[in-house]
Amino acid sequence: MKIKPYGDTLNDGAVQVSFTLPIPLSAKAVQAAKEVAKSMGLTDPSVVHSEVAGDQFSFFVVYGAVKTSIDLDKIKVVELQKTSKTKKEIEQLIEEKLKRDIVFVGASTGTDAHTVGIDAIMNMKGFDGHYGLERYLGIKAINLGSQVSNEEFVRIAREEKADVLLVSQTVTQKEVHLKNLIELVELLESEGMRKDVLLIAGGARITHELAKELGYDAGFGPGSYAEDVASFAIEELIKRKGE
């Protein structure tokens, strides 16, 4: 099945792109934006919005159309099969199958100063009506906050005998989040701890496929809640216990 983007009519290929150019806003800058759009393969590009984005920078929104279509049947993705359970069901599984408290240690590691994501998963109040792991019976949730070095993260994980490590990454300039995520895996391996923990990554630009490529057990992106993470972790721990 082949499809194209949709704007006014089916398969018209209409798209909207936005970007910043390192030049002052002017008629020449607007034309430059059109040329950029053309170089991207857009036909009949039109600059529908432009504004000053700071000294020597301009921001543009451009409409255009793509010529090519994509074949959905050829697309293959690595997707996490979510089997989200309720808080009560997760607590019951821990009590009946694991028979001990499960330790989750989480943090925004490296230079990342953002805590919204990790707090939404771990803090008692949670987010959007979904309680965080601190409220779960049978779970010991240790939220280390932000800007935690990988070395400190691993040290505390060892001290607390962590079962699950949750790593939140929001800062993505120059792919710094990827470097930090890879360094953590390498550190856990060098410390002989990688096989002893479930390693989960989360963040705005994290996908399950990316996380697996980097050596993690799972990845959770936007729209994930504590019960999603806990369901995967507890079910995986139960599987490992049975091996």
Q: What is the pLDDT along the chain (243 residues), one digit of tens a residue?
A: 889 999 989 989 999 999 999 999 999 999 999 999 999 999 999 999 999 998 999 999 999 999 989 998 888 876 676 677 999 999 999 999 999 999 999 999 988 888 899 999 999 999 999 999 999 999 999 999 999 999 999 999 999 999 999 999 886 666 777 889 999 999 999 999 999 999 999 988 888 999 999 999 999 988 899 999 999 999 999 999 874
Range list for CATH 3.30.30.60 in the chain: 2-72
2-72: what CATH class?
alpha beta
pLDDT for position 107: 96
The CATH H-level superfamily of 87-242 is Cobalamin-binding domain (3.40.50.280)
Report the phi/psi class of residue 109: left, alpha or beta, with left for phi > 0 and alpha for psi in -120 to 50: beta
Copy the structure tokens of residue 176.
């710094």
pLDDT for position 204: 85
Q: Which is catalytic among the residues 88, 97, 125, 179?
A: 125
Cα dihedral across residues 146, 214, 153, 236: positive or negative: positive
pTM > 0.85: yes or no: no
- Between 150-159 and 176-190, two packed helices, what is the crossing angle to 10 degrees? 40
pLDDT for position 82: 67
Minimal CA–CA distance to 40: which of 59, 16, 24, 57? 16
241 is catalytic: no
Contacts of 27 (CB under 8 A, 6+ apart): none
Range list for CATH 3.40.50.280 in the chain: 87-242
